[in-house]
Amino acid sequence: AIRRYLGGIVRDDEEANELSQDVMLRLMRGDFAGADPGRGRFRDLLKTALRNMVRTSWQKSGRRKTVDAELDLIGREDSAQDVEWTVQWRKAVLDNTWNRLLAEEGGKPGPAYHALKLRTEFPDASSEELAERLSQKTGTAIRPDNGRQILKRARNRFAGHLLDEVRAGLESESEERLHEELAALGLLELVRDYLPDADD
């Protein structure tokens, strides 16, 4: 997400790579560990930090006259760069969620991981078809009713991990704020059945 966002702003691979490395170094050093949750969600704070790094870089290279205007346009939520930032952030959240599920199974895909992956790859498959594919993946005969139970448990675990991932980047623990962020990332429908009402 960081590299693609910076690449969209600076339009120069070498500069984008260099800035990305600087950001990763700062993240590894813990420079953002003191971020104040009261100032907003982490992805917005990080996005602002990236734009500030670009501003500093451009100013050093002599782009002083237009730098602020360019970055103000890029900072709009409907800019191509900001839309791409959200897309890449969503992908990172989903990738981390899958990795959490994988880690629960000892780092090696197990029945729950396979069942959920198969359901995403074959959304219209019947329980019988899914059980047959799951049996092939796991090397163990799985009946359709067992396959449904495995899938149900996998969905519960995936939803829990996904909610944890999203909450980690929020400034507030309110359910309303969680709903808003899930909707902004296009993830609400994946976990709607696992959420309490925002008004609770």
Res. 195: pLDDT tops 60: yes
pLDDT digits (tens, 9 = 90+) for 64-121: 545 554 555 555 555 677 788 888 889 999 999 999 999 998 889 999 999 999 999 9
DSSP per-residue letters across 119-167: HHH-TT--HHHHHHHHHHHHTS---HHHHHHHHHHHHHHHHHHHHHHHH
> Is residue 200 very low, low, confident or very high in pLDDT (cuts 50, 70, 90)?
very low
pLDDT digits (tens, 9 = 90+) for 19-59: 889 888 888 887 776 666 566 677 887 887 887 888 888 77
CB 102 within 8 A of CB 109: yes
User: Six-digit token pair at 137?
Assistant: 């993946």
What is the mean predicted confidence (pLDDT) over 8-13? Answer: 80
Q: Which of 18, 73, 75 is nearest to 48 (CA)?
A: 75
pLDDT digits (tens, 9 = 90+) for 122-137: 999 999 999 999 999 9
pLDDT (0 to 100) of residue 198: 43
DSSP per-residue letters across 14-49: HHHHHHHHHHHHHHHHTTTTT--GGG--HHHHHHHH
pLDDT (0 to 100) of residue 64: 52
User: Six-digit token pair at 84?
Assistant: 């791409």
Q: Which residue has the higher pLDDT, 164 or 80?
A: 164
